Structure 1
Amino acid sequence: MGIVHALLPFAAAALLLLAAPPPATADDPGLAVYWGRHKEEGSLREACDTGRYTTVIITFYDVFGHGRYSLDISGHPLAAVGADIKHCQSRGITVLLSIGGQGGGYSLPTNASAADVADNLWNAYLGGHRAGVARPFGDDAAVDGIDFFIDQGGADHYDDLARRLNGYNKYYRGRVGVVLTATTRCSYPDHRLEKALATGVFARIHVRMFGDAQCTMSPRYSWEKWAAAFPGSKVYIGLVASPEQDSAWMFQKDLYYEMLQFVRSLPNYGGLAIYDRYFDKKANYTGQG
């Protein structure tokens, strides 16, 4: 049973919170999903065409910081992804590129390395174009922003990277064109991202309520610390879609009774961030039928 039907007996309001179809308005909660970890999850276009998600986060740009830059999306054809990005955006769905992940092929040892990575992200995946910089998704496909999913290495210079990426917004004629988000650990603070988040340039924070034994016993308390610390950012509840992934998986009714009924009224509650599309498709966790 999908998350919407599971919550109907418990609170009619939860239906609107969990199943708002894209495009979202400024007052709607979001439903984000991470895509790119399994070839069997289907295409990016298919994920967007479910009508479930307001944001799709492509994972991962996972080698950077030492003059090398590469993307791992589990064998999905890059040429098709470019067309799919434009299709998703035409439906009002935000498409982000997540940097980092669980691999160990990235770090920012110096301010210069942060500048190099910002330049590569801008010219390869965002709105820039520079001779000699390949655009893996094609010349006319650009993601809407960058998600910081920094799960390895030190904390140095991610603040420099965030400021530089945010600085590219000057090329968008007064509107924000590079959305910055962060996927953090549940326990507050996340020391790898603490300095970056202190810049104040992150529109959203996705708090992973999994993979962190320190907050398993009190997930709502941990999440509320994040929400209180960053009142100017939309704060999402990060969830795994299946018990196969992590013991912190929540039944839909537990999600409502333990979390949503308390936090959904907070002004900076942003919605749910589901890890990941493969398991959501397999378990139908956010499905409407």
Structure 2
Amino acid sequence: MLSKSVRSLVISLVIIAISKTTIYASKSGELAVFWGQNGNEGTLADTCATKKFPYVNLAFLKVFGNGSTPILNLAGHCDPASGGCVSLTNDIRGCQKQGVKLMLAIGGAAGTYTLSSKLDARHVSIYLWKAFLGGKSSSVFRPLGNASLDGIDFDIEQGSSQFYDDLVRYLKSYCTKKHRVYITGAPQCPYPDKQNGPALNTGLFDYVWVQFYNNPSCEYIPGNSSNLINSWNLWSKSLKAKKLFLGLPASTQAAQNGFIPADVLISDILPMIKHSPKYGGVMLWSKYWDDQSGYSSSIVSSV
């Protein structure tokens, strides 16, 4: 028969084990969203005011590298070239006061970009640091005004994968105790990603929101989630990043395929992927399409 002290110890260990299991089982994630590619999606301030998106990617810096003049495109929101986006300074600071992390998304499906060398990567990193992040320079125009974004999102969907790993390292080298530079990415779901693989392998990414859509081999197919779950597990096991997000279209119109009905996501998909220790939440493309569908409101309490 166990002594009183031993029984107490056993009971304490059981309580601790139950507590840890409960915490693990109830692990919750967060929502990320892309903003900037439709003038009818509301302002950046509107996006942050929803209180639903702790991470917002401003899309896109669509031209950069190889000696080109960088071009920021925010669709119908403002014209960066004429200085029209400097007004976003107040929105950026307001979002950050609410705890929202803002990243500049570079690349995209329709951009013109490439890195020609390690030196080119360094030049691009200096530009990003001085034009959008914490760097200051009287000779570099800041398209979004004096407010500093929190990091850079890699949405590289074309061209070579070369030298993006160098760009990541250069950007991370600007981190200080007072100013952290977040590095995030939105690779396609086939693993390893063709364009982003070497950069992801640096292990320097904070958050990665894999696009689990427009790729039938690794996306949700109506009535069949096995491809998606298998791909998620592979990413979760292999990815050198702190958090992994499930990237989804926010409506059936937002992508060619891969849309997951909210009830299916909540009942079938999320319970499976939340077992991953790297689970970070769900990323949505995009704020405009989410406005049309109300998708985020349907899932936010379950993510």
TM-score bin (small chain): 0.7 to 0.9
Does 2:110 correspond to 1:100? no
- Where does residue 184 of structure 1 map in the other structure? 187
- Where does residue 253 of structure 2 map in the other structure? 244
Per-residue deviation, residues 69-114 of structure 1 (Å, max 9, x unmatched)? 1100113131232211111000011111110001241000111211
Report how far residue 288 of structure 1 moved: 5.7
Aligned-residue RMSD, C-alpha: 1.9
Does 2:162 correspond to 1:156? yes
Q: 1:91 aligns with which of 93, 98, 105?
A: 98
Report how far residue 235 of structure 1 moved: 0.2
Kindly provide the amino acid, as one letter, of the partner of residue 61 in structure 2: Y
Cα 1:176–1:271 change in 2 (3 A) is: farther
Report how far residue 142 of structure 1 moved: 0.6
Q: 1:271 aligns with which of 264, 281, 287?
A: 281
- Where does residue 148 of structure 2 map in the other structure? 142
Does 2:122 correspond to 1:121? no
Report how far residue 272 of structure 1 moved: 0.5
Kindly provide the amino acid, as one letter, of the partner of residue 123 in structure 2: D
Per-residue deviation, residues 92-142 of structure 1 (Å, max 9, x unmatched)? 111111100012410001112111110000000000011210011112x01
Aligned partners of 2:207 and 2:245 also within 8 Å:
yes
Cα separation, 2, equivalents of 1:176 and 1:79: 21
- Where does residue 19 of structure 2 map in the other structure? none
Kindly provide the amino acid, as one letter, of the partner of residue 38 in structure 2: H
- Where does residue 63 of structure 2 map in the other structure? 63
Partner of 2:154, secondary structure, is: strand
Cα separation, 1, equivalents of 2:240 and 2:73: 33
- The structure with the larger Rg is 2
Unmatched runs of 5 consecutive residues or more in structure 1: 1-12, 18-26
Aligned pairs (5 A) from 1:1-289: 28-67=28-67, 68-77=69-78, 78-139=85-146, 141-169=147-175, 172-173=176-177, 177-216=180-219, 217=221, 218-230=227-239, 232-246=241-255, 247-287=257-297
Task: Tell which has more relative contact order, 1 or 2 (C-alpha 8 A, sep 6+).
Answer: 1
Per-residue deviation, residues 159-204 of structure 1 (Å, max 9, x unmatched)? 01000001101xx23x661000110101111021111111111011
Cα separation, 2, equivalents of 1:253 and 1:230: 28
Unmatched runs of 5 consecutive residues or more in structure 2: 1-21, 79-84, 222-226
Aligned partners of 1:231 and 1:268 also within 8 Å:
no
State the aligned residue count: 262
Cα separation, 1, equivalents of 2:65 and 2:240: 31
